[in-house]
Amino acid sequence: MLEFAGPEMIKEIRAQMILNGGHTCGGCSEVWTGLGRSHCGKCHRTFTTSNVFDQHRAINEQTSDHYCLNPESLDMISRDDIWRNKPSETFSWDEYNKE
Ligand SMILES: [Zn+2]
Ligand SMILES: [Zn+2]
């Protein structure tokens, strides 16, 4: 019986991703691939582009502190742990999978 999601397996997948040019974060165990992806060092979410990343960052006008918004509250969706804007109002996963 194969163990598909054991810690050794995850370590192996991670090592493979890094070998294949994956990016890592110093603050969490996330590994992501793809040019232009933006990983947030605060909330440790990964975004499809720096543009989408910027949308989840907000500023507290009183303290001038930057903070992270929940992408769900911005109507973003996540796939393979990467957040992106919903392609359209009439979004459906069927449509998405055809991309
Ligand atoms: Zn964040
Ligand atoms: Zn991180």
Q: Sorting pLDDT into bands at 50, 70 and 90, what band is 21?
A: confident
pLDDT over threshold 80, residue 52 = yes
Higher pLDDT pick, 85 / 99: 85
Closest ligand relative to 44 C-alpha = 2
Domain-located, residue 13: no
Per the CB < 8 A criterion, the answer to whether 85 and 66 are in contact is no
pLDDT at 54 over 60: yes
- Report how many domains make up the chain: 1
Using CB atoms within 10 Å of the CB of residue 97, give its burial: 0 to 12 exposed, 13 to 18 middle, 19+ buried: exposed
The pLDDT mean for the chain works out to 86
Q: 1 CA distance to ligand 1 centroid (A)? A: 39
Q: Within a domain: residue 3?
A: no
pTM, two decimals, is 0.74
pLDDT for residue 20: 87
Asked whether residue 1 is assigned to any structural domain, the reply reads: no
pLDDT recorded at residue 96 = 64
Q: Is residue 14 part of a domain?
A: no
The contacts found for 69-75 with CB under 8 angstroms, 24 or more apart, are: 71/45, 71/47
Within a domain: residue 92? no
Q: 2 lies in a domain?
A: no
Start-end of H helices in the chain = 7-19, 50-56, 93-98
Number of CB atoms found within 10 A of residue 24's CB: 14
Residue 62: inside a domain: yes
Cα(55) to centroid of ligand 2, in Å?
18
Greater pLDDT, 20 or 27:
27
Per the structure, the complete domain to which residue 36 belongs is given by: 32-86
